[in-house]
């Protein structure tokens, strides 16, 4: 038996050169030889032609919604967009900045999402967009002194993860909001995020098949997309949704849930994101649900330590984005996020893209460092740690250029 991926009638099986190990390792596993044998349920199911895919897609979405991410709320009719600053020159004349608050209940003292928008100067016509949430506040993505600080983090603390000037030079707008505008990233009993906006009378927390924090962050990305559709300076047909780490998980779910996003990018999203859970490599389902019990629907916890029982895996999440382009990327030193498992998700989702007449993933061989693969599905692994770097951004923009064409 040789190491590799075998496509079988029942799905995709990862076969080890060594005999299968039945018992789960007691600590995080970083040894391919210690992974149990596993079989992936096929993303295509019974779908044999493109016309079969909408029905199969609906089945997969319902499955992941019920068992993993939870049902999200819808768009609120009370929402109001309130410009709070700009448009004005910023970043030494390399950008036009404007800020908009999305007031979910229409009230200034109610829950809101604050968008920070940078546009390239002197660009005519609607501009394609990179949209993503940030971890530490809008003021941390650049040194712009006019952006209000909403956390104690230093101004520009996350500048290296956003490379705003590079994005603008490539002809893209960049839009961000603080992820905790939507839900705080700790277990608060779901009292301080957007979930209570949708509670039924007497309800105090989401039901077992309803959204956690990742669902709330994904919901907020769609609300940002609602705004983009109203702004004539932005091209709502060319929006690239991106996310890193836990926000990468949210970006994948938002991309699966909302077909308006033209391209979806997942960076180091790992378990619960792009990486296959059944590999039992690095972070596991139990790790997710015990360390971060507020992230997913409560139903997901039934698979703690029992990934073999899961009737789904993350390749199905990737497949839900089809036929739209999707790019995943990893870091060599980020074994907790299982880089190879992220790549194998794309391999296992590739048949869906092929069924829909798209090129899918050009190679099923795990690539060397700094060797991007770009079809309708794309992937790279770079040297370094769990982070977002200029190298990542340049490859994301290469991928967007490939699919959007001239700006």
- The pLDDT of residue 223 is 98
pLDDT tens digits, one per residue of 261-312:
999 999 999 999 999 999 999 999 999 999 999 999 999 999 999 999 999 9
Sheet bearing 11-15, strands edge to edge? 4-8, 11-15, 38-40
Q: Give the pLDDT band (50/70/90) at residue 232.
A: very high
Alpha helices of 152-293 — where are they, by DSSP H? Answer: 164-169, 213-228, 246-257, 285-291
SS percent in the chain: helix, strand, coil, step 5: 35, 20, 45
Per domain, the residue ranges of the chain are 4-70+269-386
Question: Quick one: average pLDDT of 110-126?
Answer: 94
Helices marked H in 123-210: 164-169
Q: What is the dihedral of CA 241, 242, 245, 248, to 10 degrees?
A: 20
What's the Cα-to-Cα distance from 20 to each of 10, 23, 309, rounded to whole Å?
18, 9, 17
Q: What is the mean pLDDT of the segment spanning 93-111?
A: 97
pLDDT at 24: 59
Task: Give the pLDDT score at 7.
Answer: 38
Tokens of 271: 């378990």
Residue 406: band (very low, low, confident or very high) from pLDDT cuts 50, 70, 90 = confident
Assess whether pLDDT exceeds 60 at residue 313: yes
Q: What percent of the chain has pLDDT over 70?
A: 94
Average pLDDT on 193-217 reads 98
Both ends of the chain: CA-CA distance in Å? 49
**pLDDT at residue 193, as a whole number:** 97
Active-site residue, 245 included: yes
pLDDT at 124 over 50: yes
Mean pLDDT over residues 78-85, rounded?
98
pLDDT digits (tens, 9 = 90+) for 126-154: 999 999 999 999 999 999 999 999 999 99
- Tell me the CA distances in angstroms from 252 to 79, 158, 261, 272, 376, one per residue in order: 24, 22, 11, 10, 15
pLDDT at 125: 85
pLDDT of 22 > 70? The answer is no
Q: pLDDT per residue over 331-389, tens digit each?
A: 999 999 999 999 999 999 999 999 999 999 999 999 999 999 999 999 999 999 999 99
> Which two three-digit tokens encode residue 128?
């394609």
Is 139 an annotated catalytic residue?
no
Q: Is 13 a residue whose pLDDT tops 90?
A: no
In which residue are the tokens 């698979």 written?
A: 303
Would the pLDDT of 4 be above 90?
no
Read off the pLDDT band of 33 (50, 70, 90): very high
Compute how many other C-beta atoms are within 10 angstroms of the C-beta atom of residue 218.
Answer: 27
94 confidence band (pLDDT: 50, 70, 90): very high
- Whether 34 shows a pLDDT value over 80: the answer reads yes
Confidence at residue 23, expressed as pLDDT on a 0 to 100 scale = 53
Please tell me the least confidently modeled range out of 21-25, 75-79, 386-390.
21-25
Is residue 151 a contact partner of residue 140, using CB atoms and an 8 Å limit?
A: yes
Give me the catalytic one of 101, 142, 245, 269.
245
- Distances 347 to 14, 230, 273, 276, 378 between C-alpha atoms, Å: 11, 37, 15, 11, 10
pLDDT value at residue 8: 36
The DSSP symbol for 321 reads T
pLDDT on residue 407: 76
Going by pLDDT thresholds of 50, 70 and 90, the confidence category of residue 2 is very low
Q: What is the structure's pLDDT at 208? A: 98
Inter-residue contact 182 to 295 (CB < 8 Å): no
Q: What is the mean pLDDT of the chain?
A: 94
> Is 17's pLDDT higher than 60?
no
Q: What's the CA gap between 122 and 24, in Å, rounded?
A: 58
Q: Which of 85, 166, 364, 386 is catalytic?
A: 386
The arithmetic mean of pLDDT across residues 85-108, rounded, is: 97
């Amino acid at each position: 038996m040789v190491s590799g991926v075998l496509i079988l009638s029942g799905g995709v099986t990862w076969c080890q050169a060594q005999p299968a190990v039945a018992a789960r390792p007691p600590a995080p596993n970083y040894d391919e030889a210690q992974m149990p044998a596993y079989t992936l349920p096929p993303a295509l199911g019974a779908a044999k032609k493109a016309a079969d895919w909408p029905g199969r897609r609906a089945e997969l979405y319902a499955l992941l919604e019920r068992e993993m991410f939870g049902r999200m709320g819808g768009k609120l009719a009370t929402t109001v967009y309130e410009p709070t600053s700009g448009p004005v020159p910023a970043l030494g004349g390399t950008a036009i900045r404007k800020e908009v608050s999305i007031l979910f209940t229409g009230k200034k003292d109610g829950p809101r999402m604050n968008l920070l928008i940078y546009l390239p100067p002197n660009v005519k016509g609607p501009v394609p967009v990179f949209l993503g949430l940030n971890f530490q506040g809008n003021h941390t993505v650049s040194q712009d002194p006019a952006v209000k600080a909403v956390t104690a983090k230093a101004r520009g603390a996350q500048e290296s993860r956003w490379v705003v000037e590079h994005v603008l030079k490539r002809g893209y707008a960049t839009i961000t909001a603080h992820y905790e505008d939507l839900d705080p990233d700790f277990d608060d009993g779901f009292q301080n995020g957007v979930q209570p906006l949708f509670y039924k009378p007497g309800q105090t927390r989401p039901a077992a098949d309803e959204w956690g924090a990742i669902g709330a962050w994904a919901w907020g990305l769609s609300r940002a997309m609602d705004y983009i559709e109203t702004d004539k300076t932005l091209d709502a047909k060319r929006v690239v949704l991106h996310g890193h780490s836990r926000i990468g998980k949210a970006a994948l779910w938002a991309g699966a849930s909302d077909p308006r996003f033209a391209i979806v990018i997942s960076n180091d999203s790992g378990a619960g994101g792009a990486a296959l859970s059944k590999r039992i490599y690095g972070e596991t389902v139990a790790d997710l649900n015990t360390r971060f019990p507020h992230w997913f629907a409560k139903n997901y916890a039934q698979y703690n330590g029992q990934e073999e029982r899961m009737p789904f895996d993350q390749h199905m999440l990737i497949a839900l984005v089809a036929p739209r382009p999707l790019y995943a990327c990893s870091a060599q030193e980020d074994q907790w996020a299982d880089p190879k498992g992220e790549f194998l998700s794309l391999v296992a989702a590739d048949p869906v893209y092929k069924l829909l007449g798209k090129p899918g993933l050009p190679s099923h061989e795990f690539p060397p460092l700094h060797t991007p693969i770009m079809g309708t599905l794309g992937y790279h692994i770079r040297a370094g740690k769990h982070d977002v770097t200029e190298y990542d951004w340049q490859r994301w923009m290469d991928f967007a250029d490939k699919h959007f064409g001239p700006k």
